[in-house]
Protein backbone atom coordinates (compact mmCIF):
# COMPACT_ATOMS: atom_id res chain seq x y z
CA UNK A 1 0.00 0.00 0.00
CA UNK A 2 1.18 3.47 -0.85
CA UNK A 3 0.07 6.71 0.77
CA UNK A 4 -0.64 10.10 -0.73
CA UNK A 5 0.04 12.71 1.96
CA UNK A 6 -1.44 16.12 2.59
CA UNK A 7 0.15 17.78 5.62
CA UNK A 8 -0.71 20.92 7.56
CA UNK A 9 -3.57 21.97 5.29
CA UNK A 10 -5.17 25.02 6.88
CA UNK A 11 -8.89 25.61 6.41
CA UNK A 12 -11.26 28.16 7.90
CA UNK A 13 -14.67 27.08 9.16
CA UNK A 14 -17.28 27.73 11.80
CA UNK A 15 -16.46 25.24 14.56
CA UNK A 16 -17.13 25.18 18.27
CA UNK A 17 -19.63 24.63 21.05
CA UNK A 18 -19.68 28.12 22.56
CA UNK A 19 -22.04 30.82 21.32
CA UNK A 20 -19.19 33.17 20.43
CA UNK A 21 -17.58 30.43 18.30
CA UNK A 22 -20.74 30.18 16.20
CA UNK A 23 -20.27 33.79 15.01
CA UNK A 24 -16.70 33.53 13.65
CA UNK A 25 -14.55 31.31 11.49
CA UNK A 26 -11.61 29.50 13.04
CA UNK A 27 -8.61 27.78 11.54
CA UNK A 28 -8.33 24.00 11.53
CA UNK A 29 -5.11 22.26 10.47
CA UNK A 30 -5.44 18.87 8.76
CA UNK A 31 -3.05 16.03 8.01
CA UNK A 32 -4.17 13.21 5.72
CA UNK A 33 -2.74 9.88 4.65
CA UNK A 34 -4.71 8.40 1.75
CA UNK A 35 -4.21 4.79 0.63
CA UNK A 36 -3.68 4.16 -3.06
CA UNK A 37 -1.38 2.31 -5.42
CA UNK A 38 0.92 4.88 -7.04
CA UNK A 39 2.54 2.39 -9.44
CA UNK A 40 0.14 2.93 -12.37
CA UNK A 41 0.53 6.71 -12.16
CA UNK A 42 4.30 6.42 -11.83
CA UNK A 43 4.55 4.00 -14.77
CA UNK A 44 2.67 6.33 -17.12
CA UNK A 45 3.56 9.63 -15.40
CA UNK A 46 -0.20 10.30 -15.40
CA UNK A 47 -1.95 12.22 -12.63
CA UNK A 48 -5.31 10.74 -13.68
CA UNK A 49 -4.09 7.38 -12.34
CA UNK A 50 -3.53 8.53 -8.76
CA UNK A 51 -5.20 10.58 -6.04
CA UNK A 52 -4.79 14.21 -7.07
CA UNK A 53 -3.84 16.00 -3.86
CA UNK A 54 -4.65 19.40 -5.41
CA UNK A 55 -8.22 18.31 -6.20
CA UNK A 56 -8.61 16.73 -2.76
CA UNK A 57 -7.25 19.85 -1.03
CA UNK A 58 -9.68 22.06 -2.95
CA UNK A 59 -12.56 19.76 -1.98
CA UNK A 60 -11.55 19.94 1.70
CA UNK A 61 -11.45 23.75 1.54
CA UNK A 62 -14.91 23.82 -0.06
CA UNK A 63 -16.24 21.37 2.55
CA UNK A 64 -14.92 23.52 5.40
CA UNK A 65 -16.44 26.68 3.90
CA UNK A 66 -19.84 25.04 3.35
CA UNK A 67 -20.31 23.40 6.75
CA UNK A 68 -20.36 24.35 10.40
CA UNK A 69 -20.18 21.88 13.26
CA UNK A 70 -19.96 22.11 17.02
CA UNK A 71 -17.40 19.31 17.34
CA UNK A 72 -14.08 18.67 15.64
CA UNK A 73 -15.08 14.99 15.83
CA UNK A 74 -18.13 15.65 13.65
CA UNK A 75 -16.07 17.66 11.15
CA UNK A 76 -13.55 14.80 10.89
CA UNK A 77 -16.16 12.06 10.50
CA UNK A 78 -18.21 13.86 7.85
CA UNK A 79 -15.13 14.94 5.91
CA UNK A 80 -13.73 11.39 5.92
CA UNK A 81 -17.05 10.07 4.58
CA UNK A 82 -17.12 12.74 1.86
CA UNK A 83 -13.56 12.11 0.69
CA UNK A 84 -13.92 8.32 0.67
CA UNK A 85 -17.14 8.53 -1.34
CA UNK A 86 -16.14 11.22 -3.84
CA UNK A 87 -12.57 10.07 -4.51
CA UNK A 88 -12.95 6.30 -4.06
CA UNK A 89 -10.46 6.18 -1.18
CA UNK A 90 -10.38 2.73 0.42
CA UNK A 91 -8.60 3.85 3.62
CA UNK A 92 -7.55 7.12 5.14
CA UNK A 93 -6.07 8.57 8.30
CA UNK A 94 -7.24 12.09 9.08
CA UNK A 95 -5.90 14.33 11.84
CA UNK A 96 -7.81 17.52 12.58
CA UNK A 97 -6.20 20.06 14.92
CA UNK A 98 -7.77 23.19 16.37
CA UNK A 99 -4.92 25.55 17.29
CA UNK A 100 -5.42 27.82 20.27
CA UNK A 101 -8.53 26.06 21.59
CA UNK A 102 -6.79 25.31 24.90
CA UNK A 103 -4.42 28.10 25.98
CA UNK A 104 -1.81 25.73 27.42
CA UNK A 105 -1.68 23.56 24.26
CA UNK A 106 -0.45 24.37 20.77
CA UNK A 107 -3.51 22.56 19.42
CA UNK A 108 -6.14 20.00 20.32
CA UNK A 109 -7.94 17.65 17.96
CA UNK A 110 -8.72 14.16 16.80
CA UNK A 111 -7.20 11.52 14.58
CA UNK A 112 -9.41 8.95 12.87
CA UNK A 113 -8.86 6.06 10.48
CA UNK A 114 -11.64 4.92 8.22
CA UNK A 115 -11.95 2.12 5.69
CA UNK A 116 -10.08 -1.08 5.04
CA UNK A 117 -6.35 -0.68 4.76
CA UNK A 118 -5.23 -2.40 1.54
CA UNK A 119 -2.85 -5.26 2.16
CA UNK A 120 -3.68 -5.48 5.88
CA UNK A 121 -4.10 -8.99 7.15
Q: Is 21 a catalytic residue?
A: no
Beta-carbon neighbour count of residue 95 at 10 Å? 17
Contacts of 68 (CB under 8 A, 6+ apart): 13, 14, 15, 22
Portion of the chain with pLDDT greater than 90, in percent: 94
Q: Find the mean pLDDT for residues 51-67.
A: 98
pTM above 0.75, yes or no: yes
**CA 29 from centre of chain:** 9
Handedness of CA 40, 41, 44, 46 (dihedral sign): positive
Which of 11, 80, 93, 98 is labelled catalytic?
Answer: 98
Confidence label for 121 from pLDDT (cuts 50, 70 and 90): low
Amino acid sequence: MDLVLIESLGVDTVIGVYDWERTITQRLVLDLALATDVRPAAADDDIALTLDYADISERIEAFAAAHDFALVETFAERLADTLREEFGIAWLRLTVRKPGAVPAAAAVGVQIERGARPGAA
